[in-house]
Amino acid sequence: MRALITGGAGFIGSHLAEVLLARGDDVHVVDDLSTGSMHNITHLKANPGFSYTLGSVMDRRTMAEQVDLADVVYHLAAAVGVQLIVESPVRTIETNVRGTEVVLEMAAKKNRKVLLTSTSEVYGKSTAIPFVESGDLTLGSTHLGRWSYACSKALDEFLALAYWKEKGLPVTVARLFNTVGPRQIGRYGMVIPRLVGQALAGEPITVYGDGSQQRSFTWVHDAVGALVDLMDADAANGEVYNIGSTQEISILALAELIKERTGSSSPIVFVPYDQAYAPGFEDMMRRLPSLAKIHALTGYEPSRTVAQIIDGVIDSLR
């Protein structure tokens, strides 16, 4: 089996490459290193089953060639990270929409299954907790850059499901909820590596807003295992699945827990959203997945508590 991973030099993609290689699959990565890094895949280069192309998913020639050579396509390449999205909305929209168009078009020509990674962000401001895959998506104004990410990924999902319905292309959509682990960097937002980095450096720990917003965090190995299971399951074709954890924590409690687990004496400081992102920025207060659907298909269960996730990140940053 040969898997093509777009975005395979990124945080999640590089862990996915490792898992697939370990079970004996061949892996080819296409990555433009925009947010990914060679450093994430250097250790894989010695594996004879591993190869890569430095290039964009929007490059039709590269993608035609690599989709043809692959048996399955994990499409992870995307502009991600709230900070990046707010700062560079044009890049976000173009990468996410055009890249997915090319991947699906090429996959349809060769009938290769596509696993499209989407995001919990598509639920937007929905208050229908927990979020179920069939629930409504509630997005904010087009004047606020943040929502362009959710909208671009929602369009990707529509397109993937349209390829399934209209052309019979096997596709599965996975909505990832706040995935965390080694190699994730805090530069584009991503609260846990940012706050752990601040705590370890003795710098102020920055809590945006009043810290009452809640999240549930997913250990990267759980997320990657779920992606592989979804790719392997024919019953997942044409379906959308949440991948996450049901342990909720407020960001203030998270900051306190990070301070405790690192033994840091950093102060916790509150930063208004307007300063952290942009004027008028809207955050989601809660973001909690229903895991019933994926559990029924694959038996998926999160393996780590949030404290264990923090410890894993501390170990990787030390």
What residues line the site for ligand UDP (CB under 6 A)?
A: 82, 121, 178, 189-191, 194, 206-208, 213, 215, 251, 283
Closer of 209 and 238 to ligand UDP (Cβ): 209
- CB-closest chain residue to ligand UDP: 189
- Beta-carbon count within 10 A of 77 CB: 29
Closer of 210 and 232 to ligand UDP (Cβ): 210
Closer of 56 and 117 to ligand UDP (Cβ): 117
Instruction: Specify the DSSP element, H or E, that contains 64.
Output: helix 60-69
User: Is 85 within 8 Å of 149 (Cβ atoms)?
Assistant: yes
User: Is 77 within 8 Å of 6 (Cβ atoms)?
Assistant: yes
- The least CB distance from residue 211 to ligand UDP, in Å, is 7
User: Is 96 within 8 Å of 151 (Cβ atoms)?
Assistant: no
Whose CA is closest to 109, among 154, 168, 53? 168
- The least CB distance from residue 206 to ligand UDP, in Å, is 4
- The least CB distance from residue 283 to ligand UDP, in Å, is 5
Closer of 72 and 190 to ligand UDP (Cβ): 190
Say whether 272 sits in a helix, a strand or coil: coil
**Cα–Cα distance between 223 and 180 in angstroms, integer?**
9
Closer of 106 and 249 to ligand UDP (Cβ): 249
**Cα–Cα distance between 230 and 248 in angstroms, integer?**
24
- Which residues contact residue 145 at a Cβ distance below 8 angstroms, ignoring those fewer than 6 apart? 85, 86, 89, 92, 278
Catalytic residues: 149
Whose CA is closest to 93, among 104, 103, 78, 106? 78
- Give burial (CB, 10 Å; 0-12/13-18/19+) of 144: middle
Whose CA is closest to 85, among 308, 278, 312? 278
Closer of 212 and 308 to ligand UDP (Cβ): 212
- Which residues contact residue 196 at a Cβ distance below 8 angstroms, ignoring those fewer than 6 apart? 258, 262, 310, 313, 314, 317
